[in-house]
A and B are shown apart, each in its own frame.
Chain A
């Protein structure tokens, strides 16, 4: 009986996996890393990840420069510099009502923030105006960061029809409907 149950689960898992595809393609028109994600899926929610990625402030830079997280993720902001920093953003996804300032904290300490709203969050430091970073909050767990040539691949996307968004620092977002059935392709050309 027990052996039958395990077998059934394995079969079902294999079936589900076979229904998940990939979205891949290239983001062109801009240089460097871009972010591509599946936009909000009507009627579907996803549990927030428990992992808490860290964005460091080190050498007067946000590291990594771009972090992509799923909506509901708590990001920890670390200060590794021996100078004072702060982190603030004036908008989330262009919505200025969602601007926030995390204040100041000393070297070696972290300050968490849970990103409940999707969109790009431009990170700034008010004493080092050259510092720039981004948290791109994806409404779904289906997202990827391109390599420097613009190639990207989003894996484990269930078959279905979605809106896929491409984001690049300083460029206008581009959305595109994509039907996933196995491996799908979606190329984007962004402009600033």
Chain B
């Protein structure tokens, strides 16, 4: 691997960190609609309190008597009595009295450790000049628009979009965009709230959200993709599965239960795109919104759909049954979040597309060799809350079956694919939050990822046995990151955040030797963020 590619990979990593940084939302539109503070639903926006979880579960409305809380009356799209006429009329609904639009902007200031440019000390084999990583940097973040609410008759909606990212216009992307049909269980005589359907683009029902996380830096394990596994018996990487849980899913999700107590489940069927390709238009095949050469294109790279499921149970631990089963616990000095323990598990199954240019069995006719190899992401999680203290964590095991090209003697290229060593990774995170004051939250997080296919780690890099060609690796194939931080609510809608990311020591070897190319270095970073929503 030449030095220019190394540099571009490093920059890609840094860019990914920046782009994934701080994708968080609170919904000022709801503040306007209900005439209430952000604190009604958020502990430290966008972290939800128990009432906020119930509000979301109910389809972005108050769980009971919603209409009595709305300060801006909705516009009727048909009198309620019209419902009696259905199917001879359009079923009546409502739209919010004011467009429920919220806006958000954030910006960052980053300080990188002194030895940050050690990496660039290595010579470029292809010539050119190494980029310089500045010691300090001001970074504009996101300017985002989001809208959410309820159309009446238990139909909720959500759309968020980044209008600009990193100071550049119009290069943002659509976040979540979906309709939620709440409590379909009422039509099927099932228990209340046991069946809700969501259709559109959405974050999978992860144990802890990444899209609306309140930390500045994303969870490492969510960004982990199984790319670049090397089989010692056949030194060629082949698994190239770009899927990561941080990305949005496009499809359908059914769910039930509550996030503020008792069971919760979800099952999703979403597009598969393990190759990471952008939506594609094919010249002779019309796509959903246009003719043969326009429209939205195709998002999948396979007919197979990924399957995702989650099951969790939250035990509220108050002794008083009435308090235990309420949305919020009845504290002596006012309602508060429950003392609770949530245990959950999740599983994703897909089939990554693995291709190679080769030949048919005759060894002369060119052919695309394509297989769909199973992969899964499996894990468990916990979440414990006691008054102002919250600790939670997640474990994930990632497994990709791998195939390798098989080239018979005397043939110019592969004629088939044979099973290789699976590419795997595992890890997770543990985070604890403590609310020192209602406006001050302290955070400590430990991220850990161990991978045989880690794009950054290479394979099992170690000082005693460095991998051939590995350019950017810690001393082992495990990445640890410790991230203490603090967040300050200057106002209920203005937040200052700070975190210090302590990363592992990294080293670069002369390929194929145990000689260090440069001095070991760390890229610890201190990042401060300032954001507001309105």
Binding site for B on A (CB under 8 A): 58-60, 81-86, 88, 101, 103-106, 125-130
Contact of A86 among B36, B51, B322, B333 (CB under 8 A): B333
Measured between beta carbons, the chain B residues less than 8 angstroms from A85 are 334-335
Q: Which residue of A lies closest to B336 (CB)?
A: A127
Say how far A4's CB is from chain B's closest CB, in angstroms. 60
* Interface residue? B298 (CB, 8 A): no
Are A86 and B335 in contact, with the CB atoms below 8 A?
yes
Contact of A128 among B40, B322, B331, B332 (CB under 8 A): B40
* Cα A58 to Cα B69 with chains together (Å): 8
- A-B CB contact pairs (8 Å), 29 listed: A59-B68, A60-B34, A60-B35, A60-B69, A81-B65, A82-B65, A83-B64, A83-B69, A84-B51, A84-B327, A84-B328, A84-B330, A86-B333, A86-B334, A101-B334, A103-B330, A104-B330, A104-B335, A106-B322, A106-B326, A106-B330, A126-B335, A127-B336, A128-B36, A128-B40, A129-B37, A129-B492, A130-B35, A130-B37
Are B68 and A127 in contact, with the CB atoms below 8 A?
no
Q: Which residue of A lies closest to B335 (CB)?
A: A84
* Cα A38 to Cα B326 with chains together (Å): 45
Given A106-B322, A129-B492, also A101-B36 (CB < 8 A): no
- A101-B332, A104-B332, A104-B335 are known; give 18 further A-B pairs, CB within 8 A: A59-B69, A59-B71, A60-B34, A60-B36, A60-B40, A82-B62, A82-B63, A83-B69, A83-B327, A84-B330, A84-B334, A86-B334, A86-B335, A106-B330, A126-B335, A127-B40, A129-B37, A130-B37
* Interface residue? B39 (CB, 8 A): yes
Measured between beta carbons, the chain A residues less than 8 angstroms from B63 are 82
Are B334 and A88 in contact, with the CB atoms below 8 A?
yes
Measured between beta carbons, the chain B residues less than 8 angstroms from A81 are 65, 68-69
Given A60-B69, A82-B64, also A127-B51 (CB < 8 A): yes
Are B334 and A125 in contact, with the CB atoms below 8 A?
yes
* Cα A59 to Cα B36 with chains together (Å): 10
Measured between beta carbons, the chain B residues less than 8 angstroms from A103 are 330-334
Q: Enumerate B17-71 residues with CB–CB distance to A below 8 Å.
A: 34-37, 39-40, 51, 62-65, 68-69, 71
Measured between beta carbons, the chain A residues less than 8 angstroms from B65 are 81-82
* Cα A8 to Cα B101 with chains together (Å): 73
Measured between beta carbons, the chain B residues less than 8 angstroms from A86 are 331, 333-335
Are B331 and A104 in contact, with the CB atoms below 8 A?
yes
* Cα A38 to Cα B69 with chains together (Å): 38
Measured between beta carbons, the chain B residues less than 8 angstroms from A83 are 51, 62, 64, 69, 327
* Cα A34 to Cα B37 with chains together (Å): 26
Measured between beta carbons, the chain B residues less than 8 angstroms from A126 are 333-335
* Cα A58 to Cα B65 with chains together (Å): 11
Say how far A29's CB is from chain B's closest CB, in angstroms. 27
> 3 closest Cβ contacts across the A-B interface?
A86-B334, A84-B335, A82-B64
Q: Which residue of A lies closest to B49 (CB)?
A: A127
Hey, what's the 0/1 contact readout for B66-79 against A, CB within 8 Å counting as 1? 00110100000000
* Cα A161 to Cα B496 with chains together (Å): 56
* Cα A17 to Cα B532 with chains together (Å): 62
Say how far B12's CB is from chain A's closest CB, in angstroms. 43
* Cα A81 to Cα B335 with chains together (Å): 13
Chain A CB within 10 Å, residue with most, of B51, B326, B334, B335:
B334
Are B37 and A104 in contact, with the CB atoms below 8 A?
no
* Cα A73 to Cα B422 with chains together (Å): 77
Given A83-B327, A128-B37, also A88-B333 (CB < 8 A): yes
* Cα A59 to Cα B336 with chains together (Å): 19
Measured between beta carbons, the chain A residues less than 8 angstroms from B37 are 128-130
Are B36 and A130 in contact, with the CB atoms below 8 A?
yes
Measured between beta carbons, the chain A residues less than 8 angstroms from B328 are 84, 127
Measured between beta carbons, the chain A residues less than 8 angstroms from B322 are 106
Hey, what's the 0/1 contact readout for B311-353 against A, CB within 8 Å counting as 1? 0000000000010001110111111100000000000000000
* Cα A6 to Cα B414 with chains together (Å): 122
Given A60-B36, A127-B51, also A104-B327 (CB < 8 A): no
Say how far B270's CB is from chain A's closest CB, in angstroms. 34
Are B39 and A129 in contact, with the CB atoms below 8 A?
yes
* Cα A126 to Cα B36 with chains together (Å): 12
Measured between beta carbons, the chain A residues less than 8 angstroms from B36 are 60, 128, 130
Say how far A127's CB is from chain B's closest CB, in angstroms. 5
Measured between beta carbons, the chain B residues less than 8 angstroms from A82 are 62-65, 68
Contact of A84 among B34, B39, B326, B492 (CB under 8 A): B326
Are A127 and B335 in contact, with the CB atoms below 8 A?
yes
Are B68 and A104 in contact, with the CB atoms below 8 A?
no
Q: Which residue of B lies closest to A125 (CB)?
A: B334
Measured between beta carbons, the chain B residues less than 8 angstroms from A88 are 333-334
Say how far A88's CB is from chain B's closest CB, in angstroms. 7
* Cα A54 to Cα B333 with chains together (Å): 21
Say how far A20's CB is from chain B's closest CB, in angstroms. 43
* Cα A126 to Cα B49 with chains together (Å): 13
Are B39 and A127 in contact, with the CB atoms below 8 A?
yes
